[in-house]
């Protein structure tokens, strides 16, 4: 296993995902992880990630002596390389100018890290690599024992190696896809230099999780709030595989789901997979509580609170439950740890379904806490969940409640559901569904005119929204083909009498958000 120490770079999680993709388990921790925790983790190698700081800053982050005395391979990336260089007696030059973007590094000597890995360019006599750089400071003097591996015209010391100690540093970012050989470089480090075996596969993750769930839960009963989203669905399938009928799911239909979604969830989990699912039809209660409320944050709170009330009431009727399972995944764990330590700004603080374990006096079971989203999807497939469900776009907890602008009513929800289903169906048909990260329709409570035959008709307006994004923190509006937009628009207007106009949202995030409320 590999330990990744985070100095605050936006790329740290990406490094962890890449290492997992290679098939090796790794964990991401803050750079000042305590010595006992480091020893306890017993890594086969350490990756020092990048960070926004300069080693020249007064209390700049340092690599702890515990890491340097582990006697395992180390790979420093960007700030990680600079910290390594300075702490081992080299020097780092301060720079106000940032180098950012594509670069070509020349390979000037051989080492285990990069040997045989290169991108050739036509007519190029010097072997080199096409990489992604993002840095200000740079290493200006090698520490003792290190050799220079690679240079660019603006950054002479772009990669360094000490093959004897198996310590390496690269100024560029092997974890981003713009570094074409990046994944080979990381594989070389993790598999060959650290000697890890690629055992972190979907099959092994599932087998291991099942064993741990059985050991923890024993003969106890477990309750899960099933939302139909990927995370809770995978938890349901996993727990059912591990403990069978000791699992009970509560699925709250809040009346703000997509077209036929409630029935689909029941068909898959209850009928197909034979999981015990209690469906609570709470549409009336949600809509009643939402009546007259137009403020988006208040709507969110009402939906969240109503969910907890409905869920808790159901849970209270069940006998002998000891555990509450939740679909917490690794990025949630990293983010909340960073938020607690004050080291990262938390932009997103949305809460998904859950119930309140403290109030309910239940023990918490979070079998996906170590997994990234792409791993959750892979084990979902491994557990037999259909591809279309595992790779479905994310859907917010408050559902259509935040896609119906202003007051939520059943009539508007019904119109929106139909329009949304048409949009999604046409995206699938045109092969665009999986090319965008999230797509949906937004209902606007304004009436616009249209002509039907000889008459004028005033009806509602909806907007189509489709975005491409990696992390949902920033997003670009998807450049859908005009023909596709045309088909969707004419189908919605023709098939749904109460909608007279369709617009396409061409706002990117930031400054717009993905949802409209
Ligand atoms: P925004 O609109 O903030 O959305 O750009 C980013 C991602 O978060 C989802 N989202 C939510 N998810 N509860 C949720 O569980 C919410 O209240 C909520 N608001 C937005 C949104 O769908 C997108 O994927």
CATH of residue 479's domain is: 3.30.300.10
Pocket of ligand 1 (CB under 6 A): 300, 350, 352, 394, 396-398, 402, 438, 472, 509, 513-515
Q: Would you say residue 198 has pLDDT above 60?
A: yes
Can you give the pLDDT at residue 470?
Answer: 84
CATH of residue 307's domain is: 3.40.50.620
What residue numbers bound the domain in which 406 lies? 401-504
Mean pLDDT over 130-152 rounds to 94
**Number of structural domains in the chain:** 3
- Using the atom order of ligand 1, give the atom closest to the CA of residue 393: 24
pLDDT one-digit tens code per residue, 341-370: 665 443 333 444 444 556 668 999 999 999
Q: Which of 515, 516, 517 to mutate to test the pocket of ligand 1 (most atoms within 8 A of CB)?
A: 515
Mean pLDDT over 317-341 rounds to 87
227 & 359 share domain? yes
Phi and psi at residue 296, in whole multiples of 5°? -55, -45
240 among known catalytic residues: no
CA 499, CA 444: separation in Å to the nearest integer? Answer: 10
Can you give the pLDDT at residue 351?
Answer: 44
- Using the atom order of ligand 1, give the atom closest to the CA of residue 300: 17
152 & 230 share domain? no
Can you give the pLDDT at residue 356?
Answer: 59
For the four alpha carbons of 404, 408, 412 and 413, in that order, the dihedral sign comes to: positive
Cα(513) to centroid(ligand 1), Å: 9
Comparing 52 with 504, which gets the higher pLDDT? 504
Mean pLDDT over 26-46 rounds to 96
Q: For atom 9 of ligand 1, which residue has the closest CA? A: 396
63 within a domain of the structure (yes/no): yes
Query: Minimum mean pLDDT among 63-77, 85-99, 278-292: which range?
Result: 85-99
Percent of the chain with pLDDT over 70: 95
Q: Would you say residue 165 has pLDDT above 80?
A: yes
Q: Would you say residue 494 has pLDDT above 60?
A: yes
* Average pLDDT of the chain to the nearest whole number: 93
* Residues ≥6 apart with Cβ < 8 Å to 85: 76, 91, 92, 139, 141, 142, 143, 146, 157, 160, 169
Can you give the pLDDT at residue 286?
Answer: 98
Q: Would you say residue 212 has pLDDT above 90?
A: yes
pLDDT one-digit tens code per residue, 242-280: 999 999 999 999 999 999 999 999 999 999 999 999 999
293 & 431 share domain? no
With bands split at pLDDT 50, 70 and 90, how would you rate the model's confidence at 59? confident
Bridge partners (DSSP) listed for residue 169: 76, 160
Can you give the pLDDT at residue 99?
Answer: 81
200 within a domain of the structure (yes/no): no
Can you give the pLDDT at residue 453?
Answer: 80
Can you give the pLDDT at residue 343?
Answer: 53
10 & 30 share domain? yes
CA 103, CA 91: separation in Å to the nearest integer? Answer: 22
Can you give the pLDDT at residue 361?
Answer: 81
pLDDT one-digit tens code per residue, 103-120: 999 999 999 999 999 997
Q: Would you say residue 94 has pLDDT above 50?
A: yes
233 within a domain of the structure (yes/no): yes
Mean pLDDT over 78-84 rounds to 96
With bands split at pLDDT 50, 70 and 90, how would you rate the model's confidence at 193? very high
Can you give the pLDDT at residue 471?
Answer: 82
Q: Which of 239, 245, 178 is nearest to 214 (CA)?
A: 239
- Using the atom order of ligand 1, give the atom closest to the CA of residue 513: 5
* Residues ≥6 apart with Cβ < 8 Å to 276: 245, 247, 248, 249, 270
352 & 437 share domain? no
Cα(449) to centroid(ligand 1), Å: 31
Mean pLDDT over 455-462 rounds to 93
CA 465, CA 395: separation in Å to the nearest integer? Answer: 13
Full-model pTM: 0.86
188 & 278 share domain? no
78 among known catalytic residues: yes
């Amino acid at each position: 296993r590999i330990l990744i120490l985070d100095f605050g770079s936006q790329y740290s999680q990406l490094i962890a995902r890449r290492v997992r993709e290679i098939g090796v388990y790794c964990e991401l921790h803050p750079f000042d992880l305590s010595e006992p925790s480091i020893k306890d983790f017993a890594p086969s190698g350490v990756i020092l990630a990048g960070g926004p700081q300069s080693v020249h800053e007064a209390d700049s982050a340092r690599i702890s002596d515990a890491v340097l005395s582990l006697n395992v391979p180390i790979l420093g990336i960007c700030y990680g390389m600079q910290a390594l260089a300075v702490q081992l007696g080299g020097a780092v030059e301060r720079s106000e100018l940032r180098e950012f973007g594509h670069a070509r590094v020349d390979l000037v000597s051989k080492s285990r890290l990069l040997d045989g890995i290169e991108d050739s360019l036509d007519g190029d006599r010097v072997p080199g690599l096409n990489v992604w750089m993002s840095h200000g400071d740079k290493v200006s003097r090698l520490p003792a024992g290190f050799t220079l591996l690679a240079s660019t015209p603006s950054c002479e010391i772009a990669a360094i190696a000490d093959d004897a100690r198996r310590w390496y540093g690269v100024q560029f970012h092997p974890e981003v896809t713009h570094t074409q050989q990046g994944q080979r470089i990381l594989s070389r480090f993790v598999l060959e230099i650290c000697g890890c075996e690629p055992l972190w596969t979907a099959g092994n993750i599932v087998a291991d999780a099942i064993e741990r769930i059985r050991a923890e839960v024993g003969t106890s009963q477990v309750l899960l709030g099933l939302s139909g989203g990927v995370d809770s669905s995978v938890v349901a399938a996993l727990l059912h595989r591990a403990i069978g009928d000791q699992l009970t799911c509560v699925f709250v239909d809040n009346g703000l789901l997509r077209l036929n979604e409630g029935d689909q969830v029941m068909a898959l989990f209850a009928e197909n997979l034979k999981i015990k699912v209690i469906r609570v039809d709470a549409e009336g209660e949600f809509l009643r509580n939402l009546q007259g409320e137009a403020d988006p944050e208040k709507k969110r709170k009402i939906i969240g609170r109503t969910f907890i009330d409905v869920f808790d009431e159901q849970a209270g009727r069940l006998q002998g439950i000891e555990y509450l399972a939740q679909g917490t995944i690794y990025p949630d764990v990293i983010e909340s740890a960073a938020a607690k330590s004050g080291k990262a700004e938390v932009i997103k603080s949305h809460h998904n379904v859950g119930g309140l374990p403290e109030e309910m006096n239940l023990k918490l079971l979070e079998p996906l806490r170590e997994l990234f989203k792409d791993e959750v999807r892979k084990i979902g497939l491994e557990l037999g969940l259909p591809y279309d469900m595992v790779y479905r776009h994310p859907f917010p907890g408050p559902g259509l409640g935040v896609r119906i602008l202003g007051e939520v009513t059943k009539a508007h929800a019904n119109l929106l559901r139909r329009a949304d289903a048409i949009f999604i169906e046409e995206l699938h048909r045109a092969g665009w569904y999986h090319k965008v990260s999230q797509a949906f329709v937004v209902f606007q409570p304004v009436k616009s005119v249209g002509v039907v035959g000889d008459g004028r008709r005033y009806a509602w307006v909806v907007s189509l929204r489709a975005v491409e994004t990696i992390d949902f923190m920033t997003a670009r509006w998807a450049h859908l083909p005009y023909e596709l937009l045309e088909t969707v628009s004419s189908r919605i207007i023709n098939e749904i009498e109460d909608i007279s106009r369709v617009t396409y949202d061409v706002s990117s995030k930031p400054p717009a958000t993905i949802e409209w409320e």
